[in-house]
Structure 1
Amino acid sequence: MSALPSVVLASRNKKKIGEVLELLAPHGIAVVGVDQFPEMHEVEEDGATFEANAVKKACETALKLGRWTIAEDSGLCVDALHGAPGVYSARYAGEQGKDEANNLKLLEALQAVPEHERTAHYVCYAVLADPHGKVRAAAEGRCGGRMLRELRGENGFGYDPLFLVPEYHRTFGELDPAVKRHISHRARAFERFIPQVVRVLQEVAE
């Protein structure tokens, strides 16, 4: 059997790329970051759902580069805020990827919310598009928890230091990265997603 074709990962978030690479590495899937392709523009994430954004990023990137592409969209949904920040998680405070500002805005928004109403969940939606821009695999993963009133832990990124995982009595920011890789929304999405990706790429390689 021929080697599996390499896949472009449509993300420029280095910590997110690191998590995805660790999830894919054991399966022999070679991944190239989209930042290796200067001709690829930034895809505007203007979808109303994580699925819509992931599909758009995967398909536009695949078509532009003529390469197999994986994209995922993920974020935090807080029940007391009617699902916010949701698809705006990375730019909740206005500027893309400013974790400190996003966390501060979230803490302020939840200031008057009592403990029993501070439930939330992370969502990850992953998509594989073929070089013609057609979706060939997709999966969603979720992880439930509760929002704290103060930051705890230095690991992870985004809202991880505020997101308490009840089963572990620790935030994503406190959990060992190896544990997070098994229980996170991204881990759960990729647990369903990777077998699909391997199957599709193997069919192409045969």
Structure 2
Amino acid sequence: MKLCLASRNAGKRREAEEILGPLGYALLTLEEAGVGSEVEFPEEGDTFEENAVSKARALQALVGGWCLADDSGLAVDALGGAPGVRSARYAASMDRAEARDRANTQKLLRELSCVASPHRTARFVCVVALVGPSDQCLLARGECLGEIIDAPRGHNGFGYDPVFVPAGYTQTMAELSSDEKNRISHRGQALRALARELRRRKIMASDAGE
């Protein structure tokens, strides 16, 4: 069964398909589903769950069928969970992703400049929402625990990856191989939790219909 993903990122599609494919789902990006580049999905909720459900329902209203969306971000304990749902726009709104990532990371490090290492704990959070044509809605959450270091390291990543060291590692997310990063990522954990819930409820693609 085809399942539309609220993303234009082919890497996200591959990761989701690796996990949900064995259940019979074939993932489509927005382009593959015929959704134009002018279509955007606002993230106006106060929680990752609200944003993921909002995006999935907005996409479902456009294309019908079953739709999957996620919302993710970084939550730093010493900052009361910030940047949280505002992770992508923490510092400012910029068109270029590279400039936005750099500005966000610099602001984060400034906010933590007086916080000692033992208190720089953080977590990457991802919530995925799967909605169906009969108002079905399944949610799953994944987290990757770690801490924020005081200067960026590594180039194999984006966003806050260069300043986030996962628990049990000495490398930042941006220093890990893609395979290792995907293995421990918050998005992968959320997708695997969703797959477990689909199996638990015995909702396979063949049961969901086209």
> Shorter-chain-normalised TM-score: which range?
0.7 to 0.9
Q: What's the TM-score once normalised by structure 2's chain length?
A: 0.86
SS of aligned partner of 1:170: coil
- What's 1:155 paired with? 156
Q: What's the TM-score once normalised by structure 1's chain length?
A: 0.88
Runs of 4+ residues deviating >3 angstroms: 12-28, 195-198
- What's 2:93 paired with? 95
Q: Of residues 201, 205, 208 in structure 2, which corresponds to 1:204?
A: 208
In 1, the alpha carbon distance for the partners of 2:141 and 2:152 equals 27
One-letter identity of the residue aligned with 1:44: P
One-letter identity of the residue aligned with 2:120: R
CA deviation string 1:92-111 (max 9, x = no partner): 11226421111111111111
Sequence identity percentage? 42
- What's 2:27 paired with? 31
One-letter identity of the residue aligned with 1:75: G
SS of aligned partner of 2:153: coil
Alignment of 1:7-86 (within 5 A): 7-13=3-9, 15-25=11-21, 27-35=23-31, 36-38=34-36, 41-86=39-84
In 1, the alpha carbon distance for the partners of 2:70 and 2:147 equals 23
In 2, the alpha carbon distance for the partners of 1:106 and 1:15 equals 26
CA deviation string 1:96-145 (max 9, x = no partner): 6421111111111111111111000111100111135x243221011110
One-letter identity of the residue aligned with 2:186: H
One-letter identity of the residue aligned with 2:90: Y
Alignment of 1:98-137 (within 5 A): 98-132=100-134, 134-137=135-138
Q: Which range moved further: 93-102 or 49-58?
A: 93-102
Unaligned runs of 5+ in 1: none
Is the CA contact (8 Å cut-off) linking 1:155 and 1:175 kept in structure 2? yes
How many residues are paired up?
201
Is the CA contact (8 Å cut-off) linking 1:40 and 1:65 kept in structure 2? no
CA RMSD of aligned residues (A): 2.2
SS of aligned partner of 1:34: coil
SS of aligned partner of 2:16: helix
Distance 1:89 1:66, change over 3 A: same
In 2, the alpha carbon distance for the partners of 1:43 and 1:130 equals 18
Is the CA contact (8 Å cut-off) linking 1:59 and 1:135 kept in structure 2? no
In 2, the alpha carbon distance for the partners of 1:178 and 1:102 equals 25
